[in-house]
């Protein structure tokens, strides 16, 4: 989806869809096979998507560099390290000048809103882990997965490829 080639601010973005480990007995990532491979940006990627990718990439690299949790004990550490990075990534995405194309601008707005939903769900997830509240953990995990799936869909429709967790990236 090409389009909007205006010059604009470049900044970073949080996980469009974060791989969320389960807080039960093991910390297995919640992903599907199609989520495992980071897509390549198309040649006609819009100005906005290019700038969002440029903003996301350094933050995503830092998020991806945090050792994934291998058990429930390490999950709190992982969340504590990655959530601030994800927040900075979201803030960076928000600094990118919105697209001029009306359709792309609407999807971009939904994408950024999804990033916020995901961040809030992950914040509730970490709080529930710290509180040891199994019911709240499951609710927050379901919310995070739903927000991640929705946000990844917007990212894909906008050709945003550098935000969000992929097992290869």
* pLDDT per residue as tens digits for the range 97-106: 999 999 999 9
Residue 65's CB: how many other CB atoms inside 10 A? 10
The answer to which of 11-15, 42-46, 100-104, 109-113 has the lowest mean pLDDT is 11-15
Residue 133's CB: how many other CB atoms inside 10 A? 14
User: pLDDT value at position 165?
Assistant: 64
> 42 - beta bridge partners?
none
Secondary structure class of 30 (helix, strand, coil): strand
* pLDDT per residue as tens digits for the range 105-160: 999 999 999 999 999 999 999 999 999 999 999 999 999 999 999 999 999 999 99
Place of tokens 């990844």: 152
């Amino acid at each position: 989806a090409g389009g909007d080639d205006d010059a604009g601010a470049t900044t970073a973005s949080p996980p469009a869809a974060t791989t969320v480990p389960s807080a039960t007995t093991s910390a297995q990532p919640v992903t599907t096979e199609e989520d495992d491979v980071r897509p390549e940006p198309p040649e006609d990627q819009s100005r906005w998507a290019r700038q969002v990718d440029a903003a996301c990439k350094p933050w995503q690299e830092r998020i991806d560099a945090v050792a994934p949790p291998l058990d429930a004990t390490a999950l709190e550490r992982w969340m504590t390290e990655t959530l601030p990075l994800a927040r900075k990534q979201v803030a960076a995405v928000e600094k990118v000048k919105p697209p001029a194309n009306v359709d792309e601008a609407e999807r971009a707005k939904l994408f950024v809103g999804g990033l916020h939903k995901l961040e809030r769900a992950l914040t509730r997830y970490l709080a529930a882990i710290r509180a040891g509240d199994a019911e709240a953990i499951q609710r927050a995990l379901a919310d995070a997965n739903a927000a991640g799936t929705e946000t990844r869909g917007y990212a894909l429709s906008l050709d945003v490829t550098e935000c969000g967790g992929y097992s290869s990236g």
